[in-house]
Structure 1
Amino acid sequence: MVNPLLFPEYADAIRALDLAAIGSPAALPERFLLAHEGRFSVHYIPFEYVNPAARIVVVGIAPGFVQWKNAMAETQRRMAAGAAQDEVLRAARLAGAFSGAIRPNFVALLDAIGVQRWLGIASCASLFDHDAHLVQISAILRHPVFVDGRNYSGTPGMAKLPFLREQVLRYFAHEAAQLPDALYIPMGGSVAEGLDWLAREGVIRRERILHGLPHPSGANAERVAYFLGRKERAALSSRTNARQIDAARATLLAQMAALSES
């Protein structure tokens, strides 16, 4: 699991980027291509910062094109200001993390199952403020993956493809090895499947994965509202499986109770 820091190799190229001229994944400079196979391509992003004190790891699927541009812009700003390498990498990884409506939903979901009590804080809202040292914002595929020039969305499943499995093991598994006692929160079903695969591989302990939280995006508002008790079961649309959400909530509450007692 050798995972050398790549940033020094890319710093000059990032500094020289004309981001205004890059309007799509197809326009990404060849210099940033890390790997490719068939329809898949992987491009470097300066997301190598690992918070050694993190007790919560929020795991997305992969940075997309917009996040690539935002991270590169933040990196350019920090380098121009003369920031140290660690600060540059930390700022790049946090650029735009959980902005907008997704953040209050996410905080409410974590508080609803008792993550704040396990952490010993009043609310998980402070994870984005003065308790930011307790969280690692991550992605199971650290670097952007594009399929036919579009953001990889989880299909086909990464655990089924040797090319993507190698990316997970090369980067995310190395990160997870530094945070063995953290809780892992998958953001979406494909990420959950990937974390389960890593648990079978012995990279992460299965009891440290918090399965079943609804994705906190605005598009998932009804499931979030029902999980939080803000919407009655009788008022749900046919698209929302109340029984599944009830079961997930009960399992998560029991899991957090067990973790708090251990």
Structure 2
Amino acid sequence: MPEVLFSRYREAIRSLDLATVATPAQIPAAFLLGREGCYSAHYIPFESIHEHARVVVVGITPGFVQWKNAMREAQGQLALGLDDAAVLRASRLAGAFSGAIRPNFVALLDAIGVQRWLGIASCATLFGEHAGLVQVSGILRHPIFVDDRNYSGSPPMTRNAFLREQMLRYFAEEARQLPDALYIPMGGSVSAGLDWLAEEGVIRRERILHGLPHPSGANAERVAYFLGRKDRSTLSAKTNGAQIDAAREALLEQMSKL
């Protein structure tokens, strides 16, 4: 089993004054995992793994706001006297796919049949009674900042030695514990990262579900078209209907084979 780092940071988290941390540059040095040039990686208590998870939702990396929210949640759980495992579970779940993004995400998964593959009525229950079946992750588990700004996928993580090492040290170890899960990338840069991990033998390529539109509100038109809620003739110039059709057909075929 990979080493859990939380015990090293427990007391630093307990004593952290979040009111004094307004920017990534103000994160205390105690939480620095590594730095190379303009890149820095900082510890976040996101080490909890649902060992029976069958779906892994993969974003890029936690941002600064997520770092603060996770630290605040961890402090609260520590103050209640919970054990490390409970603190880590609560910290990782804090805010995961909350708000408008959640119903879009559920609808997209149900549209390609993930709920049937899981044997549940709807993927909505992944955020309730079947929460143990889903793992929400970042391909870069610990927050990455570039010149003290959130890393957003550019330049590509696969072309940077520091970022590749972060993927292999943390996310790859998580993935090895979930060899039979489906991996759902949130965005093109994550897709490229998962393909690179497949080349490295970490993930089976057929388990990566490429092509789902990102479920954010900013992507509403693509989501609506993918779900059949918008006619192709009404799409704006920025949305490629043919590309979405091809992605939907490929995903449906991939799920049918599984």
Deviations 1:140-162 (A, max 9, x none): 00000000110000001011111
Aligned to 1:217: 216
**What is the TM-score of this pair, normalised by structure 2?**
0.99
Separation (CA, whole Å) in 1 of partners of 2:169 and 2:177: 13
In the TM superposition, what is the alpha-carbon distance from 1:97 to its structure 2 partner?
Answer: 0.3
Separation (CA, whole Å) in 2 of partners of 1:193 and 1:50: 23
Matches within 5 A, 1:91-110: 91-110=90-109
Deviations 1:116-135 (A, max 9, x none): 00000000000000000100
Q: Is the 8 A contact 1:56 1:136 kept in 2?
A: yes
**Contiguous gaps of at least 5 residues in structure 1:** none
Aligned to 2:84: 85
In the TM superposition, what is the alpha-carbon distance from 1:84 to its structure 2 partner?
Answer: 1.4
Q: Secondary structure at the match of 1:54?
A: coil
Aligned to 2:226: 227
In the TM superposition, what is the alpha-carbon distance from 1:50 to its structure 2 partner?
Answer: 0.9
Aligned to 1:53: 52
**RMSD in angstroms over aligned alpha carbons?**
0.7
Aligned to 2:244: 245
In the TM superposition, what is the alpha-carbon distance from 1:3 to its structure 2 partner?
Answer: 3.3
Aligned length: 258
In the TM superposition, what is the alpha-carbon distance from 1:20 to its structure 2 partner?
Answer: 1.2
Deviations 1:162-207 (A, max 9, x none): 1100000000000000000000000010000000000011100000
List, as ranges, runs of 4+ consecutive aligned residues in structure 1 with deviation greater than 4 Å.
none
Deviations 1:5-45 (A, max 9, x none): 11000000000011111101011001100000000000000
Aligned to 1:199: 198
Q: Secondary structure at the match of 1:42?
A: strand
**What is the TM-score of this pair, normalised by structure 1?**
0.98
**Contiguous gaps of at least 5 residues in structure 2:** none
Separation (CA, whole Å) in 2 of partners of 1:22 and 1:32: 12
